[in-house]
Amino acid sequence: MGKFTCALFLSSYVLTLAACGGVKLIEVQKSTAALNLSPKQREIVEPKIEFITDIVEDYNFEKDELELAYQRYRSEASLPRLSRYEGGGRRTRRQVFREQNALRTKIRAFARQRQDYIKEITNLIQEIRAILTPRQLTTLEEIELPKLKLPSILRRSRYNDFLYVPGTRIGSPRDF
């Protein structure tokens, strides 16, 4: 009888792991089904998972908004300078500096907000872990937790180290 229960436990564990392979925590129905929650646990855990989902959606919206602001800034900066007779106004250095400062402020605020979101998600996951049984905890480890990916403008590029080589002159348009 002991071998039978051990085999049954092992097969249920394997099925649970197989079921959790593609489950993400932010998918409320799938993650609660994979965790096999009791009704009392479900009442506590589901609102927390929904709150985590809202945080991830807010973060993705803000990330897209920041990338759009950066693209707008880059496109304005790359426009050719037109004289006042060609329909272009004079952009003073102060205007350019203000635009750069506004973008820097947005980026810094975004980075601070991202850290706050990460802390909030970590606290919610710890609260969820406190409620779960040891068997459910092993299943939770298999579920994919949300990741707040940095936007491409804030990620370090591999080739940035080669943009400036110390001891060499930086190229200018007069070189060509």
* Average pLDDT over every residue of 166-172: 58
**How many domains does the chain fold into?**
1
pLDDT digits (tens, 9 = 90+) for 65-107: 999 998 888 877 766 666 656 656 666 667 777 888 888 999 9
33, part of any domain: yes
In a domain, 71, yes or no: yes
Residue 106: give its domain's CATH number: 1.20.81
Q: 81-104 as b/e, with b when 16 or more CB fall inside 10 Å? A: eeeeeeeeeeeeeeeeeeeeeebe
Q: What is the pTM of this model?
A: 0.70
3-state secondary structure of 24: strand
**Could you read off the pLDDT of 102-159 as tens digits, one per residue?**
889 999 999 999 999 999 999 999 999 999 999 989 988 999 989 988 887 787 766 6
Domain, as residue range, for 136 = 22-77+90-146
Q: How far apart are CA 35 and CA 135, in angstroms?
A: 9
